[in-house]
Amino acid sequence: MVKLEEKQYESLLKEDLACFHCNHVSKNMPQLKQHIEEEWNKLAERERTRADRKRKLEERKDRKKTEELAEGEEQEEEEVLAKKAKIDED
Ligand SMILES: [Zn+2]
């Protein structure tokens, strides 16, 4: 059994109820909980936006890569056809 020393925790109980994130001080526990919940939602929203932006960027990069690849293949095909035509001429 852990023995709690009143002297040790009493000072903690007397401290302000501050938010772990921005040190916003709340008057009581429900208010602190409410504040932390809002803080958490904001963080989650920011993360979601960032992930979304990153995904869109990756998609754009992928699309560009695919287009470049298709262009390269087309060029190769033309070269092959040109060579073939030359052989036919000979
Ligand atoms: Zn906060």
Residue 2 lies inside a defined structural domain of this protein: no
The total number of structural domains that make up the chain:
1
pLDDT classification of 40: cutoffs 50, 70, 90: very high
**At a CB cut-off of 8 Å and minimum separation 6, what does 22 contact?**
39
Q: Which element (helix H / strand E) includes 44? A: helix 29-89
Q: What is the mean pLDDT of the chain?
A: 89
Gap from CA of 15 to ligand 1 centroid (Å)? 16
Instruction: Tell me the average pLDDT across 22-33.
Output: 93
Residues surrounding ion ligand 1 at CB below 5 Å: 19, 21-22, 24, 39
What is the model's pLDDT at position 7? 85
Task: Say whether pLDDT at 90 is over 80.
Answer: no
Residue 1 covered by a domain:
no
Alpha-carbon distances of 8 from 2, 18, 19, 20, 64, rounded to whole Å: 13, 19, 21, 20, 62
Residue 61 belongs to some domain of the structure = yes
| 34 belongs to a structural domain | yes
Overall average pLDDT of the 76-86 stretch:
86
Residue 5 domain flag: no
In angstroms, what is the span from residue 8 Cα to ligand 1's centroid? 26
The answer to the question of residue 53 being in a domain is yes
